[in-house]
Amino acid sequence: MQQEHSLKKRYFYKLFTNFLGLGVSLVTQTIVPRGLGPKSYGDFSFLSDYFNQFAGFFDMGTSIGFYTKLSQRPKEFKLVVFYFYFIGIASLLLLTFVVVAHTTKMYTRLWPGQELFYIYLAVFWGILVWLINIMNRMTDAYGLTVSAEIGKVFQKTIGVFIIIILFVCHKLNLGSFFFYNYFTLFLLLIVFTYVMKRSGYSLLQSWKLTGEEIKNYIKEFYQYSHPLFIYSLVGLFAGIFDRWLLQVYGGSVQQGFFGLSYQIGAVCFLFSSAMTPLVTREFSIAYNNKDGKNSKMLFLYSKFSSI
């Protein structure tokens, strides 16, 4: 089993990957809007944000709970099995929603000006992004951040070369851009799976759960996430409504300008997005192993709050 690296080294690698991701984003955000054009770029921005919002609603904070619990109990593979089943059920519900909207012709109102083909591509994209985020949390929970970030560097490097080739060959359109994202996400999925398997956390184990185990896990996650249901529901409607309103009154072109501006604004989270999951893991482990005064958590809080 791979030896766990220090928090400082894991933070450095995650921050380095974020900076590399910034460079890749500058390249792609220079190429993609030009290659797709404002309308197609706006269509991608609108549809991807829509299904990201739905994934966030189904998540209801459970991914943070899963990350915390897995950090405390990394050997408990059945916890992983249960959460993957949860993702599968939520994904089926999301797909059912799209199919119902398709058959009832409601999709013309829910996604104004969008073709069905791209709506289906977007829903699978949203599910895949959600799964990748969970896999990334798993590598952090197992203390495999360094290896995972090296894999992400490889994936980002491959991705930027592909997008340049598509642009130069005049093959960059909305469909090819979706499939480009599919390829890079599946590549990252393979990388995360390999990193975990090599370190003794293989996914190729028994995926059976007893009825009692399922009941216990449901109770455990319900206690964690049910207070967030109303918040997630309000967030879903608020997040979808403002982009839908922009789509109705501004159209895809204005949607594209907004999406590009949003990507630029995301640079502000470069440092915090690198540190937050790592600190959360350290707090989770310290809490699980707390003594009477929980001196370890106090030490960690004093250390990180002074940075």
pLDDT tens digits along 256-276: 777 777 766 655 555 445 455
Q: Does residue 65 fall inside a structural domain?
A: yes
Please enumerate in sequence order all residues whose Cβ is within 8 A of that of 66, keeping only pairs 6 or more positions apart, or say none. 79, 83, 134, 137, 221
Which range among 46-55, 108-117, 215-224, 288-297 shows the weakest confidence by mean pLDDT? 288-297
- pLDDT the model gives residue 183: 95
- pLDDT the model gives residue 292: 47
**Stretch 140-169: mean pLDDT:** 85
Q: Does residue 87 fall inside a structural domain?
A: yes
**Stretch 29-33: mean pLDDT:** 78
- pLDDT the model gives residue 12: 59
* 307 compared with 182, residue with greater pLDDT: 182
Answer yes or no: pTM beyond 0.75. Answer: yes
Q: Does residue 286 fall inside a structural domain?
A: no
- pLDDT the model gives residue 274: 46
* 46 compared with 283, residue with greater pLDDT: 46
Whether residue 152 contacts residue 140, with contact meaning beta carbons closer than 8 Å, is answered with no
Q: Does residue 293 fall inside a structural domain?
A: no
Report whether pLDDT(228) > 80. Answer: no
Q: Which domain holds residue 117?
A: 7-270
Euclidean distance between CA atoms 263 and 243, whole angstroms: 15
Q: Does residue 142 fall inside a structural domain?
A: yes
Locate 66 and state its tokens: 């899963």
Locate 27 and state its tokens: 């390249």
**Stretch 72-84: mean pLDDT:** 90
- pLDDT the model gives residue 176: 93
- pLDDT the model gives residue 19: 62
Q: Does residue 166 fall inside a structural domain?
A: yes
DSSP 8-state assignment for residue 259: H
Q: For the chain, what is the domain count?
A: 1
Whether residue 160 contacts residue 27, with contact meaning beta carbons closer than 8 Å, is answered with yes
Q: Does residue 279 fall inside a structural domain?
A: no
Q: Tell me how far the alpha carbon of residue 286 is from its chain's centroid.
A: 25
Euclidean distance between CA atoms 141 and 24, whole angstroms: 26
* 27 compared with 57, residue with greater pLDDT: 57
Structure confidence at residue 230 as a pLDDT band (50, 70, 90): confident
Euclidean distance between CA atoms 138 and 196, whole angstroms: 9
pLDDT tens per residue, range 89-122: 999 999 999 999 999 999 999 999 899 999 999 9
pLDDT tens per residue, range 180-226: 999 999 999 999 999 899 888 888 888 898 889 999 999 988 888 87
Mark 212-249 as b/e (b = at least 16 C-beta within 10 Å).
eeeeebeeebeebbeebeeebeeebeebbeebbebbee
- pLDDT the model gives residue 289: 59
Report whether pLDDT(26) > 80. Answer: no
Q: Does residue 298 fall inside a structural domain?
A: no
